Structure formats: structure tokens, C-alpha cells
Structure 1
Amino acid sequence: MRVLVTRRWPHVVERTLRERFDVVLNETDVPLGQADLADAMRDFDVLAPTVSDRIDAEVIAAADRCRLIANYGVGFDHIDIAAASAKGIAVTNTPGVLTDATADLALTLMLMTARRAGEGERELRVGRWTGWRPTHMIGSGLKGKVLGVVGMGRIGMATARRARMGFGMDIIYHSRSAKREAEALDAKFCADLHSLLAKSDFVSLHVPGGRHTKNLIDAAAIRAMKPGSYLINTARGAVLDHAALAQALASGHLAGAGLDVYPDEPHVPPELLGLENLVMLPHLGSATAEAREAMGRRALANIDAFAKGEPLPDPVT
């Protein structure tokens, strides 16, 4: 069985793949173009893409041979699921294994924005720091503040648990329904998104990508946010209206924001680049050795099952 891996994976997983299948790796680790991806759908039984690959309807239409898209990652909004289903191509992902890493990063961004760590490091590196003083770069503590979690799935719950147990924050959340497991955190369910935004000192986004959540946090939602509050996004870039965010940060309506994802990666909306009260990271949510290897092993488990004709562990379609 022939497998194309579109980006480099952890070495130990690549080695196992090579032992079991006829595997072609992208040795340059440069994203493949649409024509290359379309060719892969003709020449390989399995395509193993990442979030950096756009598997659209045109790419999928070229599929003569491929019958499995084994996505390396939990999010799959870069894959046209309807087109894959119509073509009889199964799609899998890697849920669960990056929960802790992403939740840790959400708290990292929360702390960095609240304590103005990005600003402080930039000041220090360019030689503008003049020494300690009582009024220098005052930020916000987390204890006793309200964290609004938008999307109370695995990662949202893990983020809420860290914020509650580790920092003594009060938790409210917006989701499709109330979660019984949130009761252990004394978390309060908010059926109305704007109501949650108005009550929260910090808002952390944990919804999936796709057309149902595109621009979920738009200009109206940002206006509804509590003045002086903070916004954190480790979910998907398209969830957030970045022009509206830039305006809110520049005006001071929001005290700060922390972003790990962007709508057209690796491009960053230019209006964000000059904002001092914004922390930006290059999509590091799952970037721990443990999480990335576990993602590869989960993708490998799906490929193994496909090769044996067994039920897929993590089917998206």
C-alpha cells in the first residue's frame, strides 16, 4: 500500500510507517502545491496531510486511487469533507492526543497577555528598559477573574480545569449544551454567547473550524466583550474577525489578546503586526514532543486499520 506523507513527522513514527508500507516523505518539508496534491490522489492509496495542506474539491476530484485521507491533526476544516464523502474517500483525524498541549498553550497566552510578557521581552531586547519602577508595565492577575470558555469540548474543559484549579479563576462557558463534567469546576453554562462575553475578564476560544463557526467572534461580539478584557484564540483563525480585533486592541476596548492561529497561515493579517498589546505565536498549540508523536501514532493506527480492512479508529466521514 502506497502512502504519501505531506510534511515531516516525528522520526520514530516515520520509521514505523516505512517498515509497514511503501511510504513517500516530503523530504524538503515545504508545503505541496495543489497540483502535487492532486497527483498524489491519483498515485497513492493513502494521503496523510496536515493543516498546512488544502485538500479542496478540485484536489479530491483527481482521486483515482486514494481511498483514505489520514489527517495528522484533530482539525479538518482544510479538507472538503463533502467532496471526499461523495468520492467514497474516508477521512480520519487524531482526536484527544493534543488536548493537554493545547490547553497548556492557552494558559501560556493568557499569562503572557495578562502580564504583558511579550511587550516586556521586546522592550528588554531592544535596550529600552530603564530599570524597575512601581508603575512599569502593570498587567492583570488571574486569581478571582472570570474566564469565559467558548466551546467546552476536550480542550476547552482542560483549559477551564487548569484555570480553575491552578489559578483560582471563576469559569463560565458557552457550548451547544450544558456539560455535566463542568459541574466539578463550579462552571456556569451561558446559552447566549454575547452574555458570556460581557461577563468575562478573559475569553478563550475552543470551537472547531468550518462554516458554522466562521467569524463567530465578529465585530459585534468583540463590542459585547467587557471593556479591558482579554481574548485568547488557540482554536482556528477563521473563528475570529481579525480586523475587528485589531481595532478593539488599538482603541483600548480590549486590554490584550493572544493568538496561536490565523485564517491564512503562514500569512499573518498585517493590521496585527504593530500592536503591542497582542501576543502572537506561530501555531504551537500541539508543539510538544509528546503530542506530535502521539498524533503520528494515532494517524498510523488509522492507516493500519485501513490496510487491514478493519473499522477506522477515528473516522470523520
Structure 2
Amino acid sequence: MKVLIGWHATEEEMARFRKALPNANIVGPRPAPYLSRFDLTLKSIADSIVDADAIVGWVMPDGALDLAKKLKLICWMHAGCDELDLPRLKSLGVQVTNLRGANSIAVAEHAMAIILGLAKRLVAKHQAVVSAQPSPLYEDGSRSAMLHGRTLGIIGLGQIGSNIAQRAKAFDMKVLGVRLHPERGAGAADEVYGIDGMHDVLSKSDYVVLSTPITRQTDSFFGAREIDSMKSGAYLLNIARGNLIQEHPLYDALTSGKIAGYGADVWWTYNNAFPATYHFPVPSRTGIQRMANVIATGDQGANADDVVDRNISRSILGLQEFSESKPLTWKIDLDLGY
């Protein structure tokens, strides 16, 4: 079995793969200029992917599948698989494993940090101290919002959503969860609803977190109707994928005061845009990230201690199962996208 490591791995990382898979041919990309060692160009793997049985990594360069003649497994180092051409992979007979759950604690902690930052107005208060501006006490626009006794609605009660629910309970919050299969239970949440109950949950929630996968069904699903269903003055957080939310209705809600604030670790991908995206002030063409009631981070939820190590362990397990013709524990459904 030939395994292509799809990033510029350290010697220690390569040694882990070789030790765990002693009968496999473990190769990496050719040296190439990069800004991050996790970048990958087609040129750097053009020779090695031709006869690779499996590839592990964060990036699948355009054109890679055209060259891969023997590929049967992708160990995708993300939870979301929307960047992959899943219909084509299905037609080629390529299986995909992902990292669902591996980063869930790190992302859940990051989500709680953003919720607290919004509620306690941390950015504005920090800036007031830096600029030596007094913060008025007990006045509108300066008071912190509370988590205690408030309601958190989690749209997408998977592994990340469930970990957020568990942490929110430590703040004495009431937690309402929405999931595609409510029969799977509420977990740490107080109540669980199906998709048909989402607008009811939105109307009851002081804080709303989006933690769903992005699929054909969820792409742009959160728009004006959903925002109108939210409580006036509630906070919205997106910890999953930027394109879950329609940008213009969100911009309108933030500028009108319909919602008190927005936090996001994920931002929009602009496809078929003119002029092309690079002409705009990404991450948001409307400039949402510059608003005073917005906390923005750039895909940093999983940038935490031990995460890369855990991701490698997960991928090694998938490769071992594949090499032994065992069922793949973390295999995704190529039709569902997760």
C-alpha cells in the first residue's frame, strides 16, 4: 500500500506513519514554496499520487483526481467535507474518512470563548482600556449580558454541538438542541427538536449557535426568515461553515439592532463572484467583521494544543483499518456529505 502524506510533514510525523504502517510505502510531497506547511500544490504531488492507494491531508489540489489512478481512500483532516468532489469520488469508488469529533472539544471551547466575548463586550472594553477611555457603568451599551439563566439554542447537536451544550450547562444555561435525527437524544441539552422545531427554538433563545455540517440542504439555510424568528437582542454564533448564513440578512440584522451581536470562526466562500473575490475585503464583502458588535476569528477553533497530534492518530487508525480490509470507523456517507 502506498500512502501519500499530503502536507510538508516533519520527520517525527513521517516516523509515526512508518512505525504504525510498517508494510506501507509512506511518501510526502516534493519540496515546494508555501506559506503554511499544510499547503499542497498539484505540482508537488504529481508524480507520487499517480499510484497512491491513499492520501492523508488538509488539501486536495485541483486536478489531483485526474492523475490518481489507484486511489481508494482519502483520510480528510477536516470534519467538513464540502471542499471535496463527493459525487466524483463516489463514481471513482474512493472512500473518505473525516475528523468528526476529533476537534470537537477544542472547537466547543472556542465557541464558548466567543459567546463570552460577545456577552461581556470584551473587545470594546479592552480597547477602552488601551485608549484610556472610561467605560460608563450600568448604562445601555456598556453592561454585559448574562449567560446564567439564559437560553442557548444549538442548531446541529452533533459532537461539536453536544460539547458546547455540556459547557453551557456549567454556566447554568438552558440548552435547546436541534438535530436532523432527534430520536438520537438530547445528550447534555435540556430538550431536543427536529428540523421542524427550529423556528420555535430560535424564538426562545438568547444565544444561537450554528454547528451543522454544510451540505446541499444546509447551504444558505439561515436567512431572513430564521433571523426574524430570533428573539430581538439575541446573539448569533457560527462555528461551522460561513456559507450556512445568508450574508445580507445578517448584515441588515446587525445594523438594525435586530440581533445584538455576531461571532464567527468561519467566513463566506464566494463562488461565481464578479469581480472576483480577491477584489473584496474578505472575509466579508459587506464588512461585517469590522462592526463593533462582531467578534471574528479566522478558522482558529481547531488551532489548539494536541489537535494535530490527535488528527494524525485518527488518520493512522483509518489507514490501518483500510490496510486490513476492516470497516472504516470514520467513513463518511458520500451522498450525505458527512
TM superposition score normalised by structure 1? 0.87
Residues 37 and 55 in structure 1, CA contact (< 8 A), matched pair in contact too:
no
Equivalences for 1:1-317 in 2 at 5 Å?
Answer: 1-8=1-8, 12-19=12-19, 20=21, 21-25=25-29, 28=34, 29=37, 31-33=39-41, 41-50=49-58, 53=59, 59-125=64-130, 127-130=131-134, 133-135=137-139, 137-164=142-169, 166-179=170-183, 181-182=185-186, 185-189=189-193, 191-264=196-269, 267-271=282-286, 272-317=288-333
Give the Å deviation of 1:199: 1.4
Q: How many residues align?
A: 312
Letter in 1 for 2:83: H
State, as a whole percentage, how many aligned pairs show the same letter.
26
The separation in 1 between residues aligned to 2:98 and 2:247, in whole angstroms, is 27
Letter in 2 for 1:32: L
The separation in 2 between residues aligned to 1:114 and 1:120, in whole angstroms, is 12
Residues 27 and 48 in structure 2, CA contact (< 8 A), matched pair in contact too:
no
Q: Secondary structure at the match of 1:149?
A: strand
Residues 9 and 296 in structure 1, CA contact (< 8 A), matched pair in contact too:
no
The separation in 1 between residues aligned to 2:188 and 2:204, in whole angstroms, is 21
Residues 2 and 26 in structure 2, CA contact (< 8 A), matched pair in contact too:
yes
Letter in 1 for 2:6: T
Residues 266 and 298 in structure 2, CA contact (< 8 A), matched pair in contact too:
yes
Structure 1 residue ranges without an equivalent (≥5) = none
Give the Å deviation of 1:69: 1.0
Name the one with the larger helix percent: 1
Seen in structure 2, the aligned counterparts of structure 1 residues 273 and 144 have a Cα distance that, compared at 3 Å, is same
TM superposition score normalised by structure 2? 0.82
Seen in structure 2, the aligned counterparts of structure 1 residues 100 and 195 have a Cα distance that, compared at 3 Å, is same
Structure 2 residue ranges without an equivalent (≥5) = 271-277, 334-338
Seen in structure 2, the aligned counterparts of structure 1 residues 47 and 226 have a Cα distance that, compared at 3 Å, is same
